[in-house]
Amino acid sequence: MLCKGITESFGAAIHALNTTKLTDGVISRSKRMMLDTLGVGLIGSRTAVFNKALTYSQSFKSDERSSVWGKSQITLPPPYAAFVNGIAVHSMDFDDTWHPATHPSGAVLPALLALAETLPSRPSGLDLLLAFNVGIEVQGRLLRFSREAFNIPERFHPPSVVGVMGSAAASAKLLALSPAECIHALAIAASSAGAPLANAATQTKPLHIGNAARRGLEAAQLAQMGLEGNPAILDIPSGFGVYYKDYSPSAMTVPASGDFKWMLEDQDIALKRIPAHLGMHWVVDAALAARAKLENTARNFDLGQIRRVTLRVPSSKYVDCPLPSTEHQARHSFQFNASSALLDNKVTVSSFSEAQINRPALKELLSKVKVETPKDNQPSFDKMYCEVEIETDQGQSYAARCDTFYGHWRKPLSQEDLVDKFIVNASSVLCSEGVEGLIDVVGNMESERMLNPGFISQVDKQSTGAVLQPAKIVNIRLE
């Protein structure tokens, strides 16, 4: 068996990385990711899928307990806390997205917070940031082992492949495992990787992130207890390579002195404005722009005058859904998101409710939508574009194109808009002191000497149960 020492290098690197290697840039970006993830997880704790998973998870007994985001009275065994909180994060497809494509934070943060609550001594904010960034970095590295990973997926859902590895790496870091134990944590985690894409656009998709968090955590714990797997798991094609058609791994090195180049420094993350698959953000921005053109030109603008809407999008079957019937399908439908944007002049959290999905006006508009997949539109989040062309009964045509939506890594959300998104999300579950408290904790994380990892459930909490405040986020900035 060919052993190029790659897995060994990962074990050594995870072990060697320490808080002095964190840079201002990486701390700043990862805190944004943490805040966004917490907010998205909090609003996600009100979804049906989260409740099903929570009820199921409550059947387990344990001595150690960890917090459930958004539920101050409930705790769970740590792996199941990671499970349900991870599900919450991905439940509305509202969580961060990276390039090459995956949702990195949801697989890592829930595991770390759950694990941190079991540690004999409280970690510092820097410890948590370090472990978090290890989890993100490992995912980024693994995604670069294949060309396949650079395109919108077709076979395995990426969070289920690299997410569990990131969770294992992050947990191993927080547990301060030895280099050998870190290797085995990765090896054990690899046997928990890989969920098929067919479950995207269904209620089960959030479990991919929940399970990545949970099983990566378990892998690290099993490694800590001495369980061993294949120490060449990243090196060989019958190891981690099974998840990819082309596979070319490379080593990870941490210079003993001098800087470590974090991938997050080079390649920022996309934060979503809309709880839907990333591809929808392009089509929504383009649809809103086309609609604005129509509104500016036509005097008595009436959507009934639309004869046809043409979408020019990259070819990707699992987000090509002409007539979605569930919220999950709607979040994965170019057609639905374009039509919602045209009908309502915005797409928000409430656009995906059952009532909204079943509106006759929306269905009528959907029946007029046609999808084209031009050859120059590459199915890659780094290269794709969306065009929306509206044709009216009068024969007029209004088209707009979006190359980079606002929130993409090339055009990141301003700090103000990021915090606004968080406030809207968190306020669905916490009162305003709780919301502000979380913003403070995350904002000052690198200065925290002893972090209370249960901070998310310690904030003064009352469920508002009320209608969500109107989204202030919809400040669309287009090309």
Partner 1 sequence: MISTLQKTIRPVWAVRGLHKSAVEVLKRPDPEDTVTASYGRFISEVKPQHLSSLVLHRSKRMVLDSIGVGLIGSTTDVFELALQHCQHMYAPDDISSVYGRRGSRLSPTLAAFVNGVATHSMDFDDTWHPATHPSGAVLPAVLALSDMMPNSKPSGPDFLLAFNVGIEIQGRLMRFSHEAHNIPKRFHPPSVVGTMGSAAACARLLSLDHSQCSHALAIAASLSGAPMANAATQSKPLHIGNASRLGLEAALLASRGLEASPLVLDAVAGVAGFDAFYEDYVPEPLESPNDGHVFLLEEQDMGFKRFPAHLGMHWVADAAASVHKLLVGLGPGTVSPSQLQDILLRVPKSKYINRPFPESEHEARHSFQFNACSALLDGEVTVQSFTPAALRRPDLLALLSRVRVEHPHDNPANFNSMYGEVQVTLVEGEILKGRCDTFYGHWRNPLTNESLRKKFRNNAGAVLRSEQVEGLIDVVGGLDTLGDCRDLLSQLQ
Q: Which of residues 50-109 bind partner 1 (CB under 8 A)?
A: 52-53, 55-56, 59-64, 77-79
User: Between residues 27 and 169, which has the closer beta carbon with respect to partner 1?
Assistant: 169
- Contacting partner 1 within 240-269 (CB under 8 A): 240-243
234 near 168, Cβ under 8 Å? no
User: Between residues 71 and 157, which has the closer beta carbon with respect to partner 1?
Assistant: 157
DSSP for 259-307 reads: ----HHHHS--B--SSSS-HHHHHHHHHHHHHHHHHHHH-SS--GGGEE
- Asked if 464 is part of the footprint of partner 1 (rule: CB under 8 A), the reply reads no
- Contacting partner 1 within 303-332 (CB under 8 A): 315-318, 320-323, 325-326
The pair phi, psi for residue 407, each rounded to 5°, is: 125, -20
- Contacting partner 1 within 13-32 (CB under 8 A): none
Number of residues assigned to the chain = 479
184 near 223, Cβ under 8 Å? yes
- Asked if 393 is part of the footprint of partner 1 (rule: CB under 8 A), the reply reads no
Spell out the residues 6+ positions from residue 384 whose beta carbon is closer than 8 angstroms to its own: 152, 279, 282, 313, 314, 377, 378
- Asked if 355 is part of the footprint of partner 1 (rule: CB under 8 A), the reply reads no
What gap in Å lies between CA 113 and CA 326, rounded to an integer? Answer: 32
Q: How far is the CB of 139 from partner 1 (least distance, A)?
A: 18
Which of left, alpha, beta for 405 (phi over 0: left; psi -120 to 50: alpha)? beta
- Asked if 369 is part of the footprint of partner 1 (rule: CB under 8 A), the reply reads yes
Applying CB under 8 A, the span of 29-37, 367-375, 425-433, 471-479 interacting with partner 1 comes to 367-375
User: Between residues 159 and 434, which has the closer beta carbon with respect to partner 1?
Assistant: 159
- Amino acid (one-letter) located at 364: E
Q: How far is the CB of 60 from partner 1 (least distance, A)?
A: 5
- Contacting partner 1 within 191-230 (CB under 8 A): 191-204, 207-208, 211, 218, 221-222, 225-230
- Contacting partner 1 within 147-166 (CB under 8 A): 154-157, 160
Among 26, 130, 187, 288, binds partner 1 (CB under 8 A): 187
HEC string for 59-115: CCCCCCCEEECCEEEEEECHHHHHHHHHHHHHCCCCCCEECCCECHHHHHHHHHHHH
- Contacting partner 1 within 34-53 (CB under 8 A): 49, 52-53
User: Between residues 148 and 448, which has the closer beta carbon with respect to partner 1?
Assistant: 148
User: Between residues 157 and 346, which has the closer beta carbon with respect to partner 1?
Assistant: 157
User: Between residues 222 and 264, which has the closer beta carbon with respect to partner 1?
Assistant: 222
- Asked if 411 is part of the footprint of partner 1 (rule: CB under 8 A), the reply reads no
User: Between residues 133 and 316, which has the closer beta carbon with respect to partner 1?
Assistant: 316
Task: Count the residues of the shown chain that bind partner 1, applying the rule CB under 8 A.
Answer: 73
C-alpha closest to that of 172 among 159, 186, 162: 186
Q: How far is the CB of 98 from partner 1 (least distance, A)?
A: 21
**CA-derived radius of gyration, the chain:** 22
CA 128 to chain centre: 19
Q: How far is the CB of 271 from partner 1 (least distance, A)?
A: 26
What gap in Å lies between CA 272 and CA 136, rounded to an integer? Answer: 18
Q: How far is the CB of 437 from partner 1 (least distance, A)?
A: 30
CA dist 226 to 8, 14, 131, 168, Å? Answer: 17, 18, 21, 15
The pair phi, psi for residue 308, each rounded to 5°, is: -150, 150
User: Between residues 277 and 461, which has the closer beta carbon with respect to partner 1?
Assistant: 277
